[in-house]
């Protein structure tokens, strides 16, 4: 991109405050984080309610294994990829909800399996708890929102951070990685069968949901940035404190740092 290889690009970290918009429970282990780095949880609360009004939730079948398919908002103009996935899911007892994005016109113009509900876009955050499995591209929003809903993932990455997220989902035991280069109807069918029949995937995804439910990334980020602005000094993790800030942990941290600041001011005076 023509960016000069400055120190900030080589090691993009601040000595003052670094916010990782995730949870240690849904990441691979990292050992090079400094004392001013905090995991604050995902920030997706503002996405709730998008396009929810009028969505036909009543068409979701209670007697079916429901699969949600999305390729995100950037790399989604891939109708043949969608068609391969949908043919792989054309089996009894499965219902498929598709967010087609840019591929919607091409998908809508041709025949689709009878078990498919096709939309240009969906209220994703509200839909995820109502399905049993997600087939996605591995983008950060879809991955985090799916884990927050406690649903397993089959990840078919396209580019960017998505391959890393696919491997991370496998590492966490919450899903499977299916390379797009080897995508086939049979491969999709076999992967979905594993995710459906092996309970460990759902159990692990539910455990991660419980971890994420304890965080509130947007509010935590705001509180730490406000604290930094008031203190005008690096915000550091107290020794022995958890690096991931839950709601309860944030309150304890703020109280600890405020007391430290007050004590320092008193000694200075």
Say yes or no: 125 and 250 in one domain: no
Domain count, the chain: 2
Say yes or no: 168 and 60 in one domain: yes
Say yes or no: 197 and 240 in one domain: no
Establish if 60 belongs to a structural domain: yes
Say yes or no: 57 and 186 in one domain: yes
Q: What is the tens place of the pLDDT at every residue in 233-254?
A: 999 998 888 999 999 999 988 8
What was the pLDDT predicted at 46? 54
Q: Which letter does DSSP use for residue 65 in this model?
A: E
249 neighbors 241 (Cβ within 8 angstroms): yes
Q: What is the tens place of the pLDDT at every residue in 48-98?
A: 555 566 899 999 999 999 999 999 776 678 899 999 999 999 999 999 999
Q: Which two structure tokens, joined as six digits, stand for 155? A: 């990840």
Q: Is the dihedral of CA 229, 233, 235, 239 positive or negative?
A: negative
Say yes or no: 156 and 114 in one domain: yes
Q: What is the tens place of the pLDDT at every residue in 110-167?
A: 899 999 999 999 999 999 999 999 999 999 889 999 999 999 999 999 888 899 999 9
Q: Which of 113, 111, 112, 117 is nearest to 130 (CA)?
A: 117
Establish if 268 belongs to a structural domain: no
Q: What is the CATH number of the domain that holds 64?
A: 3.40.50.2000
Say yes or no: 67 and 195 in one domain: yes
Q: Which residues pair with 98 in a beta bridge?
A: 69, 118
Q: Which two structure tokens, joined as six digits, stand for 203? A: 């159990």
Residue 184 makes CB contacts below 8 A (sequence gap 6+) with 84, 88
Q: Which two structure tokens, joined as six digits, stand for 208? A: 């991660």
Establish if 2 belongs to a structural domain: no
> In which residue are the tokens 């200075």 written?
268
Q: Which residue has the higher pLDDT, 169 or 77?
A: 169
Q: Which two structure tokens, joined as six digits, stand for 210? A: 């419980």
Say yes or no: 63 and 20 in one domain: no
Q: How far is CA 109 from its chain centroid?
A: 31
What was the pLDDT predicted at 256? 82
Average pLDDT, rounded, for the chain = 88
Average pLDDT over residues 188-209: 97
Establish if 262 belongs to a structural domain: no
Q: Rounded CA gap, 39 and 220, in Å?
A: 10
Say yes or no: 156 and 241 in one domain: no
Say yes or no: 23 and 55 in one domain: no
Say yes or no: 87 and 114 in one domain: yes
Instruction: Note down the domain range covering 191.
Output: 46-204
What was the pLDDT predicted at 265? 42
Establish if 132 belongs to a structural domain: yes
| β-bridge pairing 116-119 and 94-99 | parallel
% pLDDT > 70, the chain: 88
- Looking at the chain, list the stretches that DSSP marks H as alpha helix, in order from N- to C-terminal side: 7-10, 79-88, 104-108, 124-127, 140-148, 162-172, 185-197, 199-213, 217-231, 247-268
Say yes or no: 71 and 126 in one domain: yes
Q: What is the tens place of the pLDDT at every residue in 84-108?
A: 999 999 999 999 999 999 999 999 9
Q: Which of 34, 31, 226 is nearest to 253 (CA)?
A: 226
């Amino acid at each position: 991109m023509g960016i000069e290889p400055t120190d900030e690009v080589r090691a993009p970290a601040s000595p003052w405050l670094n916010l990782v918009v995730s949870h240690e429970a849904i990441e691979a282990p990292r050992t090079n984080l400094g004392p001013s780095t905090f995991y604050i949880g995902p920030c997706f609360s503002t996405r709730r309610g998008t396009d929810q009004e009028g969505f036909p939730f009543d068409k979701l079948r209670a007697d079916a294994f429901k699969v949600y398919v999305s390729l995100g908002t950037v790399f989604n103009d891939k109708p043949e990829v969608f068609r391969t996935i949908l043919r792989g899911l054309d089996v009894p007892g499965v219902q498929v909800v598709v967010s087609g994005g840019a591929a919607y016109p091409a998908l809508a113009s041709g025949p689709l399996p009878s078990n498919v509900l096709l939309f240009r876009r969906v209220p994703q955050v509200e839909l995820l708890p109502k399905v049993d499995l997600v087939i996605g591209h591995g983008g950060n929003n879809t991955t985090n929102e799916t884990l927050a809903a406690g649903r397993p993932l089959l990840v078919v990455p396209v580019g960017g951070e998505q391959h890393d997220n696919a491997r991370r989902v496998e590492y966490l035991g919450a899903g499977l990685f299916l390379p797009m280069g080897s995508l086939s109807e049979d491969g999709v069918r076999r992967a979905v069968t594993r995710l459906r029949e092996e309970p460990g995937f759902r159990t692990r995804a539910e455990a991660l949901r419980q971890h994420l439910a304890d965080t509130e990334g947007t509010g935590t980020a705001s509180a730490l940035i406000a604290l930094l602005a008031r203190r005008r000094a690096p915000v550091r993790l107290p020794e022995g404190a958890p690096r991931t800030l839950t709601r309860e942990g944030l309150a304890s941290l703020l109280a600890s740092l405020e007391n430290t600041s007050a004590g320092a001011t008193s000694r200075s005076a």
